[in-house]
Structure 1
Amino acid sequence: MSNPSSTADNILDCAQTLIVAGGYNGFSYADIADVVGIRKASIHHHFPSKVDLVRTLVSRYREEAEAGIVALEREISDPVEQLRSYIGYWEKCIMDASAPFCICALLAGELPLLPDQVSMQVRAHFRSLAGWLTSVLERGVAQGRIHLNAPARVEAETFMATVHGAMLSARAYGDPRMFATIATPLIERYAARH
């Protein structure tokens, strides 16, 4: 018998996989019960409603993303290399199918259909990521490492949209290599010419 926290984590992991495969409305507690091998009542014990489950999932995803950014900031100081590492992270995840799509980007496509508690978490992820990207770009400009054609906030939103669009293209073409084909040139676009 697994402990409650690992059961909750297994439920969240399964829900994430199912959302990536079919979206918010593309799965039910019965689907999770079949995959995880537990009764639906056990899922309801941990997450009384689907809203609770997906809100918790997005919150966990945001915490992991923010922890990843903190680790990236600690390991790499150069802004250009930070952007390269961010794209490299997603390239690896898409190539090995460990995380073929940003869960928040996927859910953003469903915002009009999502419960408010979930959409608030998704929007918060976008604001947080855009804030970090803005700070990286501003730091790069200040260091003479990055050249921008628009204000850093606008360029950060463009960067984020391009990365998410590259995920979508990789999925649409059924070719994980499309991600790098689209996203990698972003770095050269920003890298200051000496």
Structure 2
Amino acid sequence: MASETRDRIVEAADLLFYQHGFEATSFADIAATVGISRGNFYHHFKSKDDILDGVINRRLASTKQMLDRWEISGSDPAERIRSFIHILIVNGEKIRKYGCPVGTLSSELAKLNHAAKSDAAALFTLFRSWLCRQFEQLGFGDRSDELAMHILGRSQGVATLANAFDDDRFLHHEVELMCTWLDDQIADLARKNNPDRE
């Protein structure tokens, strides 16, 4: 029962940190959302930083699960990279309203110079390593990390502008362009590896 309440607190905090920001969310906000007393709340978490640790760990676990699902369901690395790109559309409504959950938390913690800013950045590292591995499997070798960073950076830019302008059409168009860019990279690599086929 105690672990269930703890999970509910972290789940509520995760949503509130995303929707309102870490700094703007109080203990009282989280307790009210979960429907528990302040006293009961302090039994599970002594500080907001403790809750933040729980939120970051929750996001890391759910991101790992998502990446594992893509590994299983994606028939090849290119398809798996497209799954990453299309998350902008899957989460489009939330992104337009609140921005990227990873980007917004990382930015806020960096501005606050919070001790957990590197922990939040670990979510980006997870995506970066995973994308790099997909590009390596496609045969891009030393360029894999550069390409992973390009697509990660572009997706963050798209999320930021889709949020700023609340523009669904822009978001869809950029996702299309990113997929076209990926196809072009793969086609260029194939031409370089098989020059006689030209």
TM-score range, shorter chain: 0.7 to 0.9
Equivalent residue, structure 2, for 1:145: none
Change (3 A) 1:113 1:96: closer
Verify: 1:50 aligned to 2:42, yes or no.
no
Q: 1:161 aligns with which of 153, 161, 169?
A: 153
TM-score (norm 2): 0.82
Aligned length: 184
Change (3 A) 1:180 1:47: farther
Equivalent residue, structure 2, for 1:80: 78
Structure-2 separation of matches of 1:50 and 1:32 = 10
Change (3 A) 1:61 1:51: same
Structure-2 separation of matches of 1:4 and 1:10 = 10
Q: Matches of residues 108-119 of structure 1 in structure 2 within 5 Å?
A: 108-110=106-108, 111-116=110-115, 118-119=116-117
Structure-2 separation of matches of 1:56 and 1:106 = 17
Contact 2:100-2:160 at 8 Å conserved across structures: no
**Superposed displacement of residue 28, structure 1:** 0.3
Q: Matches of residues 1-194 of structure 1 in structure 2 within 5 Å?
A: 3-95=1-93, 101-110=99-108, 111-116=110-115, 118-141=116-139, 151-191=143-183, 192-193=186-187
Change (3 A) 1:178 1:100: farther
Name which one, 1 or 2, has greater alpha-carbon Rg.
2
Equivalent residue, structure 1, for 2:195: none
Q: Which runs of 5+ in 2 are unaligned?
A: 191-198
**Superposed displacement of residue 177, structure 1:** 4.2
Percent of pairs with identical residues: 24
Decide which structure has greater helix share: 2
**Superposed displacement of residue 180, structure 1:** 2.6
**Superposed displacement of residue 45, structure 1:** 1.8
**Root-mean-square deviation (Å):** 2.4
**Superposed displacement of residue 7, structure 1:** 1.9
**Superposed displacement of residue 10, structure 1:** 2.0
Residues 68-94 of structure 1: per-residue CA shift (max 9 Å, x gap): 111211111311211111222331122
Contact 1:11-1:32 at 8 Å conserved across structures: yes
Structure-2 separation of matches of 1:96 and 1:20 = 10
**Superposed displacement of residue 96, structure 1:** 6.5
SS at match of 1:74: helix
Structure-1 separation of matches of 2:100 and 2:94 = 14
Residues 145-169 of structure 1: per-residue CA shift (max 9 Å, x gap): xxx9x92212211111111222222
